[in-house]
Amino acid sequence: MKNKEQEIQMCREVGKRLCELRKMNNLTQNQAADYLGVSQSNMSQLETDTRKFSVYSIKKLLELYNASYESVLGELSHDNTENLIKPECAIESVNLLMSVCEQAESQDLNNAVCAYINMCVYVIMRELYEANPRNTGKIFSIEKDAAHEFAIEFIEKSPHQISSFIKASTGKVNKKSIEPPLEKAADFREFIRNSEEYISKYLIK
């Protein structure tokens, strides 16, 4: 059983690496699928579990991505330690954000940032909660689609509204102090590095 689990994990990691290589080459799943001669849904499956695909398919993709076997098959691990954003990082990131806000000495700014964080958590929490068939929707007073629409609209607008609030404030926000405390400077740089690497690897297509 353990060997089977390791096989599954290793195949998923190979698929993940193929996905990363595709994105690094600025190719869509459809483009890679066309080159391989499969459907987009099959390409998606390959990037999540390579067990169902031949060595020939992987070899063809490596040719397309101009990548080596080592880049995909080298030093395969059996865990997810390569993830840039680990669970514990979420709490650390929020704490870092709030430490930056506190430097600005503005309760209004703190409240605005907290509202933004809460709405992000609400949207994800509701999806997770309602995915469990044993949970009822009685705890929610707003219909899901409507709540989701309003929350997403708020999340999209909030960064611009916070920026406008800071620019318009006169004495309410200590703008020159909006920076991480000295003892958190290294954490701040690490956060920026990991976040932008995540954007480059997984979000830019």
- Give pLDDT, residue 122: 94
Would you give the end-to-end CA distance of the chain in angstroms?
37
Phi, psi of 85 (to 5 degrees): -120, 100
Q: How far apart are CA 20 and CA 40, in angstroms?
A: 16
pLDDT tens string 92-119 = 899 999 999 998 889 999 999 999 999 9
Query: What's the mean pLDDT in 171-195?
Result: 85
Amino acid present at 140: F
74: left (phi over 0), alpha (psi -120 to 50) or beta: beta
Please tell us whether the domain made up of 2-73 is placed in CATH 2.40.10.10: no
Is the CB of residue 120 less than 8 Å from the CB of residue 159? no
What are the sequence ranges of the domains in the chain?
2-73, 87-203
- Give pLDDT, residue 97: 94
pLDDT tens string 79-90 = 443 455 677 788
User: Is the model more confident about 142 or about 72?
Assistant: 142
Is the CB of residue 21 less than 8 Å from the CB of residue 67? yes
Tokens of 40: 């987009």
- Give pLDDT, residue 78: 43
**By percentage, how much of the chain surpasses pLDDT 70?**
90
| Three-state secondary-structure class, residue 125 | helix
pLDDT tens string 137-153 = 889 999 989 999 999 99
Query: What's the mean pLDDT in 60-70?
Result: 83
**By percentage, how much of the chain surpasses pLDDT 90?**
28
What secondary structure does DSSP assign to 130-141, as a single string?
HHSTT--GGG-S
pTM, full prediction: 0.57
Residue whose structure tokens are 């459907």 = 39
pLDDT at residue 188 tops 50: yes
| Three-state secondary-structure class, residue 81 | coil
The mean pLDDT value of the chain amounts to: 84
What secondary structure does DSSP assign to 145-205, as a single string?
HHHHHHHHHHHHHHHHHHHHHHHH-SSSS-GGG-S--GGGHHHHHHHHHHHHHHIIIII--
